Structures are given as structure tokens and as C-alpha cells.
Amino acid sequence: MTMPHPLGSVIQGSLSQGLEIRLHPDISVEDMRVGKFLVVRGRRSQFFCMLTDVALGTGSQRILAHPPEPDNFFLQEVLAGTGTYGTLTLIPMLMFTERTGEQAPEHGHRGRKNAAKDSGGTYAGLVAQSNAAVELLPVKTIPAHFSQVYEASERDFRIIFGWEEDPHRRNFAIGQPIDMEVPVCLDLDRFVERSNGIFGKSGTGKSFLTRLLLAGTVQRRAAVNLIFDMHSEYGWEAVSEGKVFSTVKGLRQLFPGQVQIFTLDPESTQRRGVNDAQELFIGFDQIDVEDLALVRGELNLSEASLENAIILRNEFSKTWINRLLTMTNEEIQEFCETKMGSKSSIMALQRKLTRLADLKYLRNTSTTNYVSKILAALDEGQHVIVEFGSQSTMLAYMLATNVIARRIHASYVHKADRFLQSKSPADRPRQLMITIEEAHRFLDPATAKQTIFGTIAREMRKYFVTLLVVDQRPSGIDNEVMSQIGTRITALLNDEKDIDAIFTGVSGGQNLRSVLAKLDSKQQALILGHAVPMPVVVRTRPYDSTFYAQVGQTAWEDLSDDLVITAAAQAKADLGL
């Protein structure tokens, strides 16, 4: 096996600021791009590093004062590598330490049980064998002077990120590193156990990234999904980005037997060719004051109006909105005199709530418990997409999403409490991931502590419910909520406040700012957090006919039993037993 060619040598650095590398004379600085992965081979360990900056250096100030003429190629070549050279700044992410003898574990890296034996000598088996001899450690030191730097190999990536065909883990390939043809995998079990975020400015492909990840969780059965589809992009079909008009498949087309669509606008859904979607309506008797507090900006409600709404609710219980909308001025006056309400505030509340009549999915009362239908589908392992059709205004989206999610969460709290008491595997709720768009509207600092989504984000996996938030303005999300986001998948962002928000609660995040700022505007993302061993920049996987064929090939039931953890074992793990 031939040794790879070294790119440069470590000349200085620190654990906090990173390593400075001087490129060898035969290496062009133009081949080094921010976000690339390199390996520094120290005396005892190897350091897996991300390239965060590229610079030019000179050996003498005289060269800067008297540079060679543009057409003097001979002098330029003489100076290259000696008088002039390129330097790199690397941030070590992980350390490789070779195990020897009895140190090698029986199960390999991250619990791969006898992976080499099971794989029958395939490439994956060879990687698994090498994994058993490699220990991944957090970086707590740096390599010595003049340690050599090499390009990261496919084996290095496989050791760290695994491979999608691993029969013992729910791995899902989200993309490939820049300048390499090797998959970067997310650990979906770790992904769904915490709330996650997909961020990026408008036009960077957030919807395609979201659809990709949702397809992965459906294919790998990592969780059941409840998707609030504001623009009808995830259910049946969506328009592809690009100059030529084309469409891409939605989750219902990819997984017809596992995905159900509920629609708040049946006419719009039928016009798009979806004939088997179930109708979904919400009654005024299902709307609480907390739901109105979330949309107070859209309805222009004052604090006094909300306080009087509480008085009305306490008096009329669930029928308070219907009663308010039918009350005359005299009845409002009489009510205020007996219940200490404010007539002007209640009349303003009545006038502004008439806007709710424009929402197609609202009824005076709902005779069918549609939330129970959604819960029944989720309990059966079905993934549910709630389409809004023409009802995609922020008022319509935020109101319906909050009303439905609040009841779903209440049901899961009840189930989790019952499971905690019985400890029976049969009572364990299925892991649920709720996807919301325009997340900063639900999770801004003023309302995050009041909305159900702020509660879910803070509770994380306590009640088996997590969030997948999709947003272009992460700076609008409450810092406490952002600190709870487990995995962050971020496309290009330009606003400094948004970039700062991405690294909220992330150790060493400042070193990655330059990487994030230099992403391409399409099909590139920075992934960091709970589901990956280290931050990584990827060229995201295309969502196309090739992907359709790949996700349809995996028969989850045929995967190794070693991966399917029994409900009893999982229950003990969740309870900390």
C-alpha cells in the first residue's frame, strides 16, 4: 500500500487557536479550500482537522517591497516554496489513537458487534476491522512541530461517520465532503432523540434538505413524523428549483403505505391531484387563549384584550369564542359590570376575532375529533403530513399548528407518565418528531416560554417528542431554545446575527464562522451537533430519481437483529436503569 503524499508541515499553533501549516513547495495553495478535511499524523495520534483559513506567507519583507515582474516566471518559480509559500489554519476535531493488543474492544467503534465477521470480507467489513483498532477521542492536545499533514482518506471518513449499509446502526447518508466521493452519515437514532434545526437564507434549499431528512427517518423507521406543511411541499409533489420547470416526489409518493395526508383545504389538495387526503377542521371550542397569544401580532391584539379573553374563558369555558362573537353591546356591557371586564377591550377582541371566520378550516364546533385520528395514525407508525393549501398565511399556519401540537403534546405527556409508572414496553410511546416552518415565529424570545413548541424544545426527549425546526432567521429564535437544538444543519447565511445564533451554545463555534460564511449558495451545508461526531461541511445528497430508487431498495425488516433494540431494553435506557 503506497503512502499518501504529504501536503505540509505543522509550524506552530495552539489548542484554542488551531494549527498553522506550511504547505510544501509542490502543493498549490489554490487546491486548498475552506471546509476541506485533513489529517495531521503526530507521533502517537492522528488528528482529524477542518481547514478554516488559507493565507499567503513570505520569507522576507524585500519580496513584498520588490515582487518579481508578472512575466518573470523563472524568478517566481525560484521563490515558490522558499521565499513565498502558502499557509493553512486547521482546527483539530477528533483524535485517532491506535489500539494495540488487549486494548482493542470486542464490539468495535460505537458498539459494532463482530462487524468484520458479519460483513464477510467486504469493504465495509475491512473498515469495521480497522474501527476495532482505532479509538476516537476528543482533542485535548496538539501534534508536535513538523508533523506531516495529509488529505483525509475514505477510510478516515468511514471510521468517523460510518457507512449507510452498516447493519447495526440507523445511518443515513446526507451528503459528501467537499472534493471527496465518500458519504457522510447521520446517526438517525441520535438525531431524533433531540430537537434539531435546518437553517439557511431563502433559496439555499432548506425544503430539499428537510425532505431528504424526513425521507431518511421514514425509510429507517427512526421515528414517526408529524409535519406541518405550510406550502404543501412535503406530501405529494413539489416544484423543483432551477430554470427548467420540473417536480419532485413527496413523501406520500415515495412511501405510499406509510404516510397519510390531512388537509385543512380539501379543494386545494384535490386540485393538486391528491384524492385520498383526509379532511381536517378545527372548532372555535378547541382554541384557547394561549393559541391567540401566539398570533397576537397577526390579529393585533393588545395585552388588555388577552386579559379579558381569560375572563371570558373562565366564565364560558370552551364556548367562550362562540359566545363572544354573538354578544351584543348590551350583553358585553352587562358582562363587564358583573365580571369586572373592560368593555372597550372585549369589543376590540370581538371585532378582531371576526377575522378568524376567513379561515376555511375553522367551524363553530367540531363534531369529529380529528386530533384523535392523527394520534391513532401516529400510534400505528404512520407518518402524518398536515397540508395547508391556500390557508398558508402566518395567521392560519400558526393558529392551526399550535392548536394541534398542544393536544398532541398533552396526549404524549399522558402516555409518558403511564409508561414511567408501568415500565411496560407495551406502554412506551413511539418517538415523535414534529416539523415546523418559520420557526422563529413560534420560538421568538417574547413567546417561546408560552408556546407549546418552546415547551417541547426545552423538554427534549423527556416525553418522546422533539422538533425539527426549519427557518431562515435563526437569530429570531430564543437563545435558550437554540441552546437545546441538538443537531444544526445550516446552509448559507449572510446576516451576522444569524451566524452568531447558529453557534449559540457550541464550544469552539467561532472557529467555524469563516467556514459557514463561505458555503456555496446551493447544495452545501455545515452539519454540527448531536448526530455527527464532529462538525462537517457536505455537498448535500441530490433529491432525484437516483435517490428515489435508493430509498425504495432498503427493506428495514431484513436488517440485522443486532440493530433492533428490544422495547424492554430501550425502556430501561430511557428510564436510566
Inter-helix orientation angle 303-316/329-339, to 10°: 80
Helix (H) or strand (E) holding 48, with range, is strand 45-58
In this predicted structure, what is the pLDDT of residue 98? 66
pTM of the model: 0.82
CATH number 3.40.50.300 is the correct assignment for the domain at 186-281+368-575: yes
State the Cα angle at 466 between 260 and 310, rounded to 5°: 90
Distance, CA of 23 to chain centre: 36
Task: Work out whether strand 171-177 and strand 184-187 pair parallel, antiparallel, or are unpaired.
Answer: antiparallel
In this predicted structure, what is the pLDDT of residue 561? 38
Instruction: Give residue limits of the domains in the chain.
Output: 8-163, 186-281+368-575, 287-358
In this predicted structure, what is the pLDDT of residue 553? 52
Rounded-to-integer distance, Cα 304 and Cα 340, Å: 13
Instruction: Tell me which residue of 12, 46, 30 sits closest to 149, measured CA to CA.
Output: 46
- pLDDT, averaged in runs of 10, over the chain (577 residues): 80 92 90 89 90 87 79 74 86 78 42 38 46 74 93 86 82 88 90 92 88 92 92 82 75 90 89 86 89 87 90 90 90 86 89 88 85 90 91 87 90 90 87 91 81 81 88 90 89 88 75 81 88 89 87 50 40 43
Cell of 533: 461526531
Residues contacting residue 419 through CB under 8 Å, at least 6 positions apart: 427, 428, 429, 571
In this predicted structure, what is the pLDDT of residue 3? 63
In this predicted structure, what is the pLDDT of residue 495? 85
DSSP class per residue in 69-113: PTT-HHHHHHHBTTTEEEEEEEEEEEEEEE--GGGS-SS-TTS-T
In this predicted structure, what is the pLDDT of residue 559? 41
- DSSP, res 225: E
In this predicted structure, what is the pLDDT of residue 508? 65
In this predicted structure, what is the pLDDT of residue 168? 79
Alpha-helical segments (H) within 242-281: 251-254, 266-271
